[in-house]
Amino acid sequence: MSNASTLERVSAKAAKSITSSEAFQNHLESLENAPKWLIDLKTEQWEQFSSLPMPTPKSEAWRFARTGNLSLDKYQLSSDLTPSEIEDAQKNSHLIESYSGKMVFANDQLVEKKEATASLSQAGLIWAPLAKAINEHGSLLRKFLLTFTPDLGSEKFQALHGALFSNGSFLYVPVGMEVTLPFVAYHEICGHGAAVFPHTLIIADAGAKVHLVDIFQSTGANTKNFACGMASIFAGAGAQVSYQAIQEWNLETLSFHLNSVSAERDADVQTVTVNLGSHQTRSEQHTCLSGPGSNVDNFSLSVPTGNQEVDQRTLQTHKAPSCRSNMLYKNALMDDSRTIFSGLIKVEESAQQTDAYQTNRNLLLNGSAEANSLPGLEILANDVKCSHGATTGELDKEQLYYLLARGITRKKAEELLVFGFFEEVFSHLENDELREHLNSWIGKKFHVDPPTGNPVTNS
Amino acid sequence: MSSLDIRNLEIHVEGKPIVKDFTLNVPKGEVHALMGPNGSGKSTLAKALAGHEDYQIVAGEASLNGQNILKMEVDEIARAGLFMAFQYPSEIPGVSIANFIRAALTARLADNEELDAARYYRRLYEKMDLLKIDRKFTARSVNEGFSGGEKKRCEILQMAMLQPHFAIMDETDSGLDIDALKIVSHGVNTMRGPDLGILLITHYQRLLDYIVPDKVHVMWDGRIVRSGGKELALELEEKGYDWVKEEVAVV
């Protein structure tokens, strides 16, 4: 085969919309040594995608959300990366320099990897790109892969993810292993029209302790892209998992992040989601308290500006007794931006002594921003403590006066109050490097300087 | 002349006159106590001078070292050197004491100046030690979850750090137990000197045992009805505010 015809073939493939069956067939062919179970799984997902309807303004699970921009025909799976795209992706990926392992993906292709230490690997830890893990750790991985999806209204997109995902990070932590420094995965989109399906799968075995950070970015500011990611966390008995997702796709991107947490007996999971990018993002979080005594905190912070929309749908399912779950979603809205928070706490009959909390706080920094809140409870057990609350308001006038009365200028006082509003979520980031980058990104969104340094607490 | 000078001030709240024809001069370096029963207009005067928008100044003058503060924005009044120790300080979630005071100090610097962080923390800890505030408080959100006494000490800490020309202390003694009162008074007494004027608002004589004033003024129905030396406070303590009311009625 000549070079010319290879190029032709690649570009012909690349031109196919992700919604076309040719694109799906090409994707299957591109998978190297794919096991039969994967092909079967993907085929089933593709059939689901094809049969499910697109959301409409009348879909209850899409209430208040924009459904007019969801057409996927203009996006394609990307072909080979250019050297400069690879270089840009690598350059973008230095936000956290103290880590246990690192992977950089550009359009779902692995372009850089920093291995976990030999001692961790020898003790059974697996830190691998999903494409490789499917072949090397298939029997472990397939027990979890796509077995717990959020199902909160984006089933069609979830199925498309299942059909077309090709890579992402796979992290398995064996029984009792505790890893201090975070694992970091960067997911970059490059090039106009590219669609990506980043997948994150964390399996923490009994008593394991681990921390993973996903960072989603674009290498260009103006490329129109589609991102549909999934992150699934399975925390075994007594495991402690901390997960952070920073969504900073460019402002032309349509994105979906469909995440789930399953916590077994006495497991302790904490997630922090920060939404900064995308013109429209759909963030789904399904948390399942599967084993007694488990505890899950889901924190989220979104800072939409311009006409960005952040659409958040959450579900806390309590299946086992004596569990605690806490969901805190904070949104600070500028300009004409919009947010939707729709959350449900579901306590099953067997889940006695449940503590479940759900809070959505919206700070309107401009009169034409719009925050919608739909909190809900569905309780079948009789011995539970549950609360849900939603508030929407502007900056507190008395607080502002207090800051002004100390001589702080109005602009700086407002900025302090806004960053003060974020603090309840930021304090859970557990990573100073990440915190500083977020401060500076958010500062740029507000056209203000970020707060200077952290307070010194030691004497 | 260096003074806080208030002349014929009339202040309305929701259209009603609360402070009427109020005149007072506090020279720099002096401590004046403003006493009076609840509702006499003491706190209204304080908040209006600090620029709160709920208080309308409809007549009169107020100046700080000769500068008219009635035309200034809230933050400008503070930077001109007037400090207000609030009776009920606001809680500011998510803003640490260290960052808050640092922002207030930075606002007083010229554009090309920067705060020396090491020197800043040294001074902050020194003042915290003086006021017996745990150093861990630097990382805590301003006033959030503080006891009444901790809030008042935090006000005095800010005053010590910002070094104003004049301070109005509004009921700083309210909600303080005797130990906290001694600590706060000691902090204030340490700051006393030729460069600081203080207007101390209280309705109990107790505070004045610890912060001994140069002058005492009694406020009744929106204006000063008597002025005198520190012995006036003792006389008030003995005879009660009804004594003043009767005298005013006679006049």
How many whole angstroms separate alpha carbon B172 and alpha carbon B151? 10
Question: B74 vs A420: CB contact, 8 Å cut-off?
Answer: no
Q: Which residues of A touch B (CB under 8 A)?
A: 396, 398-399, 401-410, 412-413, 416-417, 419-424, 451-453, 455-457, 459
- CA nearest A304: which of A280, A287, A327? A280
Pairing of strands A354-364, A324-333: parallel
Q: How confident is the model at residue A5 (pLDDT cuts 50, 70, 90)?
A: very low
Start-to-end Cα distance in chain B: 33
pLDDT of residue A312 exceeding 90: yes
* DSSP letter string, A136-173: HSHHHHTTTTTTS---SS-HHHHHHHHHH---EEEEEE
Interface test with B, best of A399, A403, A429 (most B CBs within 10 A): A403
Check pLDDT > 60 for residue A1: no
Q: Which of A301, A359, A398, A406 to mutate to test the interface with B (most CBs of B within 10 A)?
A: A406
Q: Are A291 and A317 in contact (CB under 8 A)?
A: no
Note whether A72 and A196 are within 8 A (CB). Answer: no
β-bridge pairing B141-142 and B92-96: antiparallel
Give the pair of three-digit tokens for residue A205.
């075995």
Across the interface, whether the CB atoms of B51 and A403 are under 8 A apart is answered: no
Q: What per-residue confidence (pLDDT) applies to B39?
A: 87
| Average pLDDT of span A304-311 | 96
At residue B240, the pLDDT reads 85
DSSP secondary-structure letter at A55?
Answer: P
Helix axes B117-130, B148-162, angle to 10 degrees: 130
Which residue type is seen at B28?
K
Contact A404 B75 (CB under 8 A): yes
Is the confidence at residue A351, as pLDDT, over 90?
Answer: yes
Answer whether B36's CB lies under 8 Å from B242's CB.
no
Query: CA angle A146-A150-A154, nearest 5°?
Result: 100
Residues of B in contact with A398 (CB under 8 A): 90
B78 shares contact with chain A (CB less than 8 Å): yes
Task: Give the pLDDT score at B250.
Answer: 62
B135 CB neighbours in chain A (<8 A) are 457, 459
Compute and round to an integer the Cα radius of gyration of chain B: 18
Provide the pLDDT for residue A332.
96
Output the pLDDT for position A328: 98
Phi first, then psi, for residue A126 (nearest 5°) are -120, 125
In tens, the pLDDT along A110-158 reads 999 999 999 999 999 999 999 999 999 999 999 999 999 999 999 999 9
A263 sits in which H/E element: strand A254-263
Cα–Cα dist B77/B50, whole Å: 7
Architecture of domain B3-92+167-250: 3-Layer(aba) Sandwich (3.40)
For residue A113, the model assigns a pLDDT of 96
From chain B, the residues in CB contact with A405 under 8 A are 50-51, 74-75, 77-78, 84, 86
Residues of B whose CB is below 8 A from A407 = 75, 78-79, 104, 107-108, 162
Which residues, at least 6 apart from B46, have a Cβ–Cβ distance to it below 8 Å?
B84, B87, B168, B170, B199, B201
Select the residue of A410, A419, A457 nearest B94 (Cβ to Cβ): A419
B94 with A404: Cβ contact below 8 A:
no
User: What burial letters (b/e) apply to A379-411, b meaning 16+ CB within 10 Å?
Assistant: bebeebebebebebeebbeebbbbbbbbbbbee
For residue B113, the model assigns a pLDDT of: 92
CA atoms within 13 A on the CB side of A93: 30
Residue A406, SS3 per DSSP: coil
- Ranges A357-361, A380-384, A441-445, B79-83: which has the least confidence: A441-445
Using pLDDT thresholds of 50, 70 and 90, give the confidence band for residue A424.
very high
| Pairwise CA distance, residues A320 & A373, whole Å | 28
> Cα angle at A176 between A175 and A181, to 5 degrees?
110
Cβ separation B84–A405 shorter than 8 A = yes
Sort residue A293 into left (φ over 0), alpha (ψ -120 to 50) or beta: left
pLDDT at A459 over 90: no
Residues on chain B touching A402 (C-beta within 8 angstroms)? 86, 89-90, 92
Residue B243: the pLDDT is 83
Chain B residues within 8 A of A451 when measuring between CB atoms: 99
Three-class SS state of A8: helix
B234 touches chain A (CB under 8 A): no
From residue A235, alpha-carbon distances to A127, A288, A328, B226 in Å are 16, 11, 20, 73
pLDDT given at position B251: 54
Q: Which residue has the higher pLDDT, B101 or A6?
A: B101
Question: For A402, which residue in chain B has the nearest alpha carbon?
Answer: B90
Q: Can you list the residues of chain B whose pLDDT is less than 50? A: none
Q: What pLDDT score does A6 carry?
A: 43
Please, which pLDDT band fits residue A458 given cuts at 50, 70 and 90? very low
Residues linked to residue A386 through DSSP beta bridges, in sequence order: A356
Q: Give the count of Cβ contacts less than 8 A between chain A and B.
A: 99
- Does the pLDDT of residue A245 top 60, yes or no? yes
pLDDT at A148: 97
Check: CB of residue B216 under 8 Å from CB of residue B230: yes
Question: What is the rounded average pLDDT of the residues A10-23?
Answer: 75
CA-based Rg of chain A, rounded to a whole angstrom? 22
Work out the end-to-end distance of chain A between its first and last CA atoms, rounded to an integer number of angstroms.
71
**Chain A touched by B79 (CB under 8 Å):** yes
Flag whether residue B174 sits within 8 Å of chain A, measured between CB atoms.
no
Q: What ranges do the domains of chain B cover? A: 3-92+167-250
Instruction: State the smallest CA–CA distance between residue A242 and chain B in angstroms.
Output: 22
Rounded Cα distance between B223 and B220, Å, is 6
Q: CA of A53: how far to CAs of A74, A155, A413, in Å? A: 18, 9, 48
* CB nearest to A455's CB, from B78, B99, B125: B99
B232 close contact with A: CB closer than 8 A: no
* pLDDT score at B199: 97
pLDDT tens, position by position, A69-97: 899 999 999 878 999 999 999 999 999 99
Query: Quick one: pLDDT at residue A9?
Result: 42
Using DSSP's 3-state secondary structure scheme, residue B119 falls into helix
CA distances from residue A226 to A111, A215, A386 in whole angstroms, order as listed:
20, 16, 37
Amino acid at residue number A1: M
Share above pLDDT 70 across residues of chain A, in percent, rounded to a whole number: 94
C-alpha pair distances (Å), B74 with each of A8, A142, A230, B99: 69, 63, 49, 20
- Helix B97-106 to helix B148-162 angle (10° resolution) is 30
Question: How do beta strands A199-204 and A168-173 pair?
Answer: parallel
φ and ψ at B41, to 5 degrees? Answer: 110, 10
Residue with the larger pLDDT of the pair A330 and B204: A330
Average pLDDT of A277-291? 98
pLDDT band at A408 (very low <50, low <70, confident <90, very high): very high
What pLDDT, in 10s, does the model give residues B122-167? 999 999 999 999 999 999 999 999 999 999 999 999 999 999 999 9
Closest CA to A201 of A134, A152, A110: A134
> Per the CB < 8 Å rule, is B89 touching A402?
yes
- The reported pLDDT for the residue numbered A326 is 98
